[in-house]
């Protein structure tokens, strides 16, 4: 399993607007194409104005296929301008769990 961790630093004060438009429209489009959403978070302590969402994929090939489908979706293309100007910095990581960690999120015994 591979985990894509996407972190966005938003313009100051824009988290409520970002979460509103993603919750109303964006997340359903993403889930339709990307599949397994592990979590969607925003910061309150530490670096402020951050959004982190985590997606799970069986392989990097699956991730590429799913992201290609998302980017080709006209609904997604119409949605992107609603969040694009709210995001100042975007970071993306691909993580693979250690062998001793289970897919359910707890150490294997």
Domain of residue 28, residue span: 2-95
Question: How does residue 104 score in pLDDT terms, banded at 50, 70 and 90?
Answer: low
pLDDT value for 97: 87
Would 104 be classed as within a structural domain? no
64: left (phi over 0), alpha (psi -120 to 50) or beta: alpha
- If one counts the domains in the chain, the total is 1
CB 14 within 8 A of CB 89: no
Would 39 be classed as within a structural domain? yes
Would 108 be classed as within a structural domain? no
- Rg of the Cα trace of the chain? 15
Question: How does residue 105 score in pLDDT terms, banded at 50, 70 and 90?
Answer: low
Pairing of strands 50-57, 2-10: antiparallel
Query: Stretch 69-73: mean pLDDT, rounded?
Result: 96
pLDDT value for 103: 61
pTM given for the model: 0.86
Would 102 be classed as within a structural domain? no
Would 107 be classed as within a structural domain? no
85: left (phi over 0), alpha (psi -120 to 50) or beta: alpha
Model confidence pLDDT, tens digit, residues 19-63? 999 999 999 999 999 989 999 999 888 888 999 999 999 999 999
CB 54 within 8 A of CB 39: yes
Model confidence pLDDT, tens digit, residues 78-99? 999 999 999 999 999 999 888 8
Tokens of 29: 């489009």
């Amino acid at each position: 399993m591979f985990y894509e961790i996407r972190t966005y630093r938003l313009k100051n004060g824009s988290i409520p607007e970002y979460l509103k438009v993603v919750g109303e429209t964006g997340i359903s489009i993403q889930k339709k194409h990307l599949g397994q959403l592990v979590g969607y978070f925003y910061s309150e302590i530490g670096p402020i104005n951050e959004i982190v969402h985590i997606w799970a994929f069986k392989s990097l090939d699956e991730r590429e296929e799913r992201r290609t489908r998302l980017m080709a979706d006209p609904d997604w293309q119409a949605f992107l301008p609603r969040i694009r100007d709210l995001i100042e910095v975007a970071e993306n990581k691909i993580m693979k769990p250690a062998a001793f960690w289970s897919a359910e999120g707890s150490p294997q015994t």
